[in-house]
Amino acid sequence: MSPDSSQPRSPADAAPAVAEPVKPEAAAGRAETMPIPAETARVAPVEPVVEPAQPPPAAAPPVEPPPVEPPPAAATAPPPAAAAALGSVAKSRLRRLVTVGGTLLLLFILWETFTFFVAYTDDAYVRSDLVAVAPEVTGRIIAVHVVDNQTVKKGDKLVSIDPVPFQLDVNQRQAQIDEAASLLKVAQEQLSTANEALVAATSTHTYAVEEQARFAVLAASNNAPRAELDRYNDELRRATAEMTMSQVAIAKAETSINAHQAALDVAKAEMATAQWRLSRTDIVAPVNGTITNLTTRPGDTGTVNIPMIGIVDADAWRIMANYKQYYVRSFEVGSEAWVWLDSAPWHFYRAKITGIARGFSRDPQAPMLLPYVAPTTDWIRLQRRIPVTIVLIDPPPDGTLYMGADARTVIFPAGGTVR
């Protein structure tokens, strides 16, 4: 035991020693100098030196580290691998851009080549004539002889109007004809009587003229009394008056005949009108076609010139195709065309051009003497188009077409499209 061990220890010395934290480097050094167990057995034990314990230092308040700003991107150069990756991405984008641009250019060239030899439009529709049938007389409808969507032939009876008032009118006109004919006959008889009277008056006047001349000569030579001459002068004046009256009666009879003849002609004309009205009480189909949107029923009143039945003309089917302006110059009437009907799809029907419009209206509110083609479709402004009339040469086998149905047309202009 060392001499120091016999000294009394203060409380501070008696307190257990606080182990200091061992640094990793110190621990490693100690591990290197620590003897192995065999060496420990040969060396005499050494008492450890106990150092006086130190009080633990006061803990300092935590200090936040200052924010570290990242260096600017330009200050540090990217590593070679990153630069190579960026170059590869740029080349890939350039290749894609060139590919897309080349594809679009090729598609544009193909489209221009296609439209040079082929004139195509889907702005087309089926059209026919809608014949609006209106009564030509006003009257109550007593019978409707057709139904909606019925196919009719020209001359088929459609509607019947009550004929009784019109038959009564015919009877009245016939009575007027009979009356005018009777009056005309009376006037003709009066003319005949006036002519006979004129003949008699003329004969009497001739005799009176001769007698007056003879007695005038005798009276001048004092061979006849003056009274006889005066009597023959009076007879001559009366014969002249009778002849004049006969002439007036003839003129009056002729005038009466003319008046009654005119009345007879008027009565006959009115009779013809009445008979025509009577015949128009039966309304017939003016064309071959199909009844559409029929709403007329017995008991309705048919009014003159107000349509009440519509017929889609079966002999006026055509395709109205609206083509762009630069196409039309290459078209010729009679050229061949091909039509796709949406109502009968998956087949192209042979057709021919029968007409090309020479004008179109730019004002939708103007009178429809010129066709109007809307310049917009689905809010897209389109080039102005010109209507082209196309007639089917080979219609659908069942012959069924629908007015207003969509269609598509293809035309192969001779020599390509002139632009």
Residues 137-158: b if buried by 16+ CB within 10 A, e if exposed: bebebeebebeeeeebeeeeeb
Identity of the amino acid at 273: T
What percent of the chain stands above pLDDT 90? 37
> Which band of pLDDT confidence, cut at 50, 70 and 90, is reported for residue 158?
very high
**Which residues have CB under 8 Å from 278's CB, separation 6+?**
163, 166, 167, 169, 170
Q: Which of 119, 218, 217 is nearest to 417 (CA)?
A: 119
Would the CA dihedral through 130, 131, 134, 140 be positive or negative? negative
More confident residue, 2 or 399: 399
Angle at CA of residue 10, ends 6 and 14, nearest 5°: 85
Q: Which of 323, 390, 391, 392 is nearest to 360 (CA)?
A: 323
Which of 36-40, 285-289, 375-379 ranks highest by mean pLDDT? 285-289
Taking the C-alpha atoms of residue 85 and residue 91, their distance in angstroms, rounded to an integer, is 10
**Residue 7 pLDDT > 50, yes or no?**
no
Question: Kind of pairing, strands 130-133 and 309-313?
Answer: antiparallel
Structure tokens at 350: 């042979």
Average pLDDT of the segment spanning 69-79: 53
- Residue ranges per structural domain of the chain: 113-128+317-411, 132-161+282-309, 164-279
Per residue, what are the HEC states of 250-295? HHHHHHHHHHHHHHHHHHHHHHHHHHHHHHCCEEECCCCEEEECCC
Structure tokens at 263: 């009345």
Q: What is the CATH number of domain 113-128+317-411?
A: 2.40.30.170
What is the pLDDT at residue 387? Answer: 92
Q: Which 8-state DSSP code applies to residue 315?
A: T
Q: Which 8-state DSSP code applies to residue 16?
A: P
Distance from CA of residue 249 to its chain's centroid?
A: 73
Candidate from 74-88, 198-212, 239-253 with smallest mean pLDDT: 74-88
CA 68 vs CA 64, 65, 78, 164: distances in Å: 12, 8, 20, 114
Tracing tokens 């040079």 back to the chain, one arrives at: 116
Average pLDDT of the segment spanning 262-271: 94
Which listed CATH number (1.20.120, 1.10.8, 3.30.2310, 1.10.3470) goes with 164-279? 1.20.120
Q: Under a CB-based contact definition with an 8 Å cutoff, are residues 192 and 246 in contact?
A: no
Taking the C-alpha atoms of residue 183 and residue 192, their distance in angstroms, rounded to an integer, is 14
Q: What is the CATH number of domain 132-161+282-309?
A: 2.40.50.100
**Which residues have CB under 8 Å from 310's CB, separation 6+?**
130, 131, 132, 133, 291, 292, 293, 294
**Residue 12 pLDDT > 50, yes or no?**
no
Mean predicted lDDT score pLDDT of the chain: 78
Q: Under a CB-based contact definition with an 8 Å cutoff, are residues 323 and 121 in contact?
A: yes
What's the N-to-C CA distance of the chain in angstroms?
125
Question: Kind of pairing, strands 289-292 and 309-313?
Answer: antiparallel
Q: Under a CB-based contact definition with an 8 Å cutoff, are residues 133 and 285 in contact?
A: yes
Structure tokens at 175: 């009575």
CA 238 vs CA 149, 200, 245: distances in Å: 86, 13, 10
What confidence tens digit (pLDDT) does each residue in 187-244 have? 888 888 888 888 888 877 787 777 777 777 776 777 667 677 677 777 778 888 888 8
Identify any residues that bridge with 352 across adjacent strands, giving them in sequence order. 336, 391
User: If you compute the radius of gyration of the chain from its CA atoms, what whole number of angstroms results?
Assistant: 64
Q: Under a CB-based contact definition with an 8 Å cutoff, are residues 131 and 310 in contact?
A: yes
Taking the C-alpha atoms of residue 201 and residue 186, their distance in angstroms, rounded to an integer, is 22
What confidence tens digit (pLDDT) does each residue in 391-413 have? 999 888 877 899 999 999 999 88
Distance from CA of residue 394 to its chain's centroid?
A: 25
pTM: 0.61
